[in-house]
Amino acid sequence: MSRKNLTVAGLITAAFTVVLLTFALRPAENVSQREAAAVPNPPQEKTLKKTALVQDVSATDHLNKVDVSKHLRTMLTETHGASPQDIAVYAKRLQQGHGHITMLMWIDFRAHTTKTFQSSLPEGTDQENKLLLKYLKTAKAALKGHQSYESPTFSIGKNKYYFMAQRDKTGNIGVIALINQKVLDRVAEHQLKNLRLIPYPKEGKYRVESVHTDTLSDITVKTGHDNENASHYYENEIVVRFQNGHPTKGQLQTIVADIHCKQPRKLGYAYIFRSEEKNYSQLKTYFVNKWHPAYTEPHYMYLTNDTTNEKPVGTVTPNDLLFSTYQWNLPAIETELGWNLSKGSKEVIVAVVDTGVQASHPDLQGKLLTGYNAITKGSTPDDDVGHGTHVSGIIGALVNNNEGVAGISWYNKILPVKALDNSGAGTTYSVAEGIIWAADNKAKVINLSLGNYADSQFLHDAIKYAYDRDVVIVSAAGNDNTERPGYPAAYPEVLAVAATNASLEKASFSNYGDYIDVAAPGDSIASTYPESQYAALSGTSMSSPHVAALAGLVRSLNPDLTNKEVMELMTKNAVDLGDPGHDKYYGWGQIDVLKTLQAASGSPVPLQLWPQHVRLQLNQLKQRLENNF
């Protein structure tokens, strides 16, 4: 495992920012193409971060509309034939658990009756009220015509709303919901601060000594694991990996025109092309002669007629509502195949030292332990920011419950520790206290999606305390696109995590440096959010819990491993990205759940995973040969 020279890092910390700025202003020819792509200049970085903010808000909007639609359908199903009193009880419970559902209107078309729950509509200007009533009328008309409905977003005062309407299968009952979209403003405000798009306190200012790095991002929610339009006719398909990573948009357009195909699907490093005219042999000749790829091969994946999933044999595919469409991050690190080896254990506790957690979130029920509040002693570790709830969901949101998202761990318990206040910041003392408390309360893994550039011996002592008690400590590298070491990630006892996007590239915001150990997905990650909602957030804060969750799976599978051995397993079995071996952008590479768990088990590969194992070994051998050549 590559570690850091802390003495030297401490001496140069004060001057390092100036050095980086000087380096950034050098002429472009002094920077390699690889580094120029990995490290955008300040104007580019600001543009990417603004794009990220818009994308995270947009993705959050989509996540919550899917979730609301599901709740309305469930309400219609579970209250079918129920008494008016039972329907009222159900509606009250739904609204209490989901504060963004401002109003529910129940319409019985047989009895020609309407019942409104929490009936007071928001009041705005005459024009705003007129628009609200117009959309409500349209929703009723849609239900009457046996159609579902979703209105455009409209404003009442400073708040944004939309109507959603669903009708049951019999056509006798309809329900209309008025939804407050305050979560979008909350995510936008969150991202403005944490993307550093608005001023944020520097070290020492306001006596804030340890500030969590939180969420940032760059590109898109789309994933190469989306197999919605999978074809049955594999004789017209080919899998291609290009020599120089990924083709440009213009090159893809040329290929599409040459072989008469639709836009290809991307799976990790490779692209799947389906031609309307050419068979596999013709496609191979075309790609080999014109594009000189790293490899080509037939599309061997099996697809049944009754599913749109195109998953290898042995893949565990959860039924969580948002998984297939939004959670690109889990397939990217081979989570579904890894679940064949370990789904976690309730005996192995993963602590989340953060802003707390929404204990009542429906997608975290049964996964949370009591926890601790280092900010307000004696209080429960409630989340008044959203960050800790999001991190906790990445680790352990309930799997296969038809609700929201799937966590990486099915069974590991989460120990929430509130060490950051309602601004998302905490002192060195509160963070150190949270780490020590977690170590003393049986945590085997601690996730720290927080950081600062100040090297605090006090905080380091807390890290050493937990490490000496055999705790695996994982921390986010930071989100300022800088090589300056961030702490606690840069301490040698901590596994430092950088962020990647869906194209297996360094996320534009991610910090980097020789202290980075591994990388993990951090771009528009869907997870749980306060008020029983879901949000897509980006940042190394989202990458770190992927690694912490994997550590929990490893320790569940092989409890005899020490913390050092667990960390080494994750680095040695990472998928090498960037330059061969360890590099400053990805460390040893992106974590791989399947490979790491195989190594941790020490047992032969399960029979159902043997084809994937052989393919992986061949590809790794081919890559090594190419690198040596």
Token digits of residue 399: 């799997």
Domain that holds residue 96: 44-182
> What pLDDT, on the 0 to 100 scale, is given for residue 603?
53
CATH of the domain at 109: 3.30.450
> What pLDDT, on the 0 to 100 scale, is given for residue 613?
54
Q: Residue 590 has what DSSP assignment? A: B
Token digits of residue 439: 């170590």
Q: Is the dihedral of CA 579, 583, 586, 591 positive or negative?
A: positive
Q: Does 354 participate in catalysis according to the annotation?
A: yes
In angstroms, the CA 513 to CA 522 distance is 17
Q: Is residue 15 part of a domain?
A: no
Q: Is residue 22 part of a domain?
A: no
Structural domains in the chain (count): 3
Q: Tell me: do 92 and 123 sit in the same domain.
A: yes
CATH of the domain at 269: 3.30.70.1510
> What pLDDT, on the 0 to 100 scale, is given for residue 197?
61
Q: Tell me: do 333 and 292 sit in the same domain.
A: no
Q: Tell me: do 276 and 331 sit in the same domain.
A: no
Q: Tell me: do 350 and 473 sit in the same domain.
A: yes
Q: Tell me: do 143 and 173 sit in the same domain.
A: yes
Q: Is residue 14 part of a domain?
A: no
- Burial (Cβ within 10 Å: 0-12, 13-18, ≥19) of residue 31: middle
Closest CA to 220 of 390, 55, 47: 55
For residue 105, which amino acid is it? M
Q: Does 67 participate in catalysis according to the annotation?
A: no
In angstroms, the CA 349 to CA 153 distance is 42
Q: Is residue 24 part of a domain?
A: no
Distance set, CA 339 to CA 178, 279, 410 (Å)? 39, 36, 9
CATH of the domain at 408: 3.40.50.200
For residue 116, what is the enclosing H or E element?
A: strand 113-117
Q: Tell me: do 539 and 445 sit in the same domain.
A: yes
Q: pLDDT of 85-139, one tens digit each? A: 999 999 998 988 888 999 999 999 988 899 998 767 888 899 999 999 999 999 9
> What pLDDT, on the 0 to 100 scale, is given for residue 280?
78
Q: Tell me: do 438 and 362 sit in the same domain.
A: yes
> What pLDDT, on the 0 to 100 scale, is given for residue 345?
95
Q: Tell me: do 275 and 328 sit in the same domain.
A: no
Q: Tell me: do 512 and 599 sit in the same domain.
A: yes
- From 56, 61, 354, 592, active-site residue: 354
> What pLDDT, on the 0 to 100 scale, is given for residue 8?
33
Q: pLDDT of 505-523, one tens digit each? A: 999 889 999 999 999 999 9
- From 100, 387, 390, 546, active-site residue: 387
Closest CA to 471 of 455, 448, 450: 448
> What pLDDT, on the 0 to 100 scale, is given for residue 48?
78
Prior bond to 362 cis, omega within 30? no
Q: Is residue 491 part of a domain?
A: yes
Q: Does 71 participate in catalysis according to the annotation?
A: no
- Burial (Cβ within 10 Å: 0-12, 13-18, ≥19) of residue 592: buried
Q: Is residue 620 part of a domain?
A: no
- CA terminus-to-terminus distance, the chain: 26
Q: Is residue 228 part of a domain?
A: no
pLDDT, block means (10 residues), the chain with 629 residues: 38 29 32 48 73 85 91 91 90 88 92 84 90 94 91 91 91 92 85 60 32 29 26 61 85 92 74 83 91 76 27 69 91 94 96 96 96 94 94 97 94 96 83 95 96 85 95 93 91 97 91 96 94 93 97 96 96 94 96 95 56 58 60
Last residue of a domain, one of 116, 149, 182: 182
Q: Tell me: do 178 and 243 sit in the same domain.
A: no
Q: Residue 305: phi, psi to the nearest 5? A: -80, -15
In angstroms, the CA 242 to CA 626 distance is 12
- From 342, 430, 527, 541, active-site residue: 541
- Burial (Cβ within 10 Å: 0-12, 13-18, ≥19) of residue 257: exposed
> What pLDDT, on the 0 to 100 scale, is given for residue 86?
92
Q: Tell me: do 158 and 285 sit in the same domain.
A: no
Last residue of a domain, one of 182, 216, 248: 182
In angstroms, the CA 488 to CA 210 distance is 9
Q: Is residue 214 part of a domain?
A: no
Q: Tell me: do 155 and 268 sit in the same domain.
A: no
495 forms beta bridges with 474
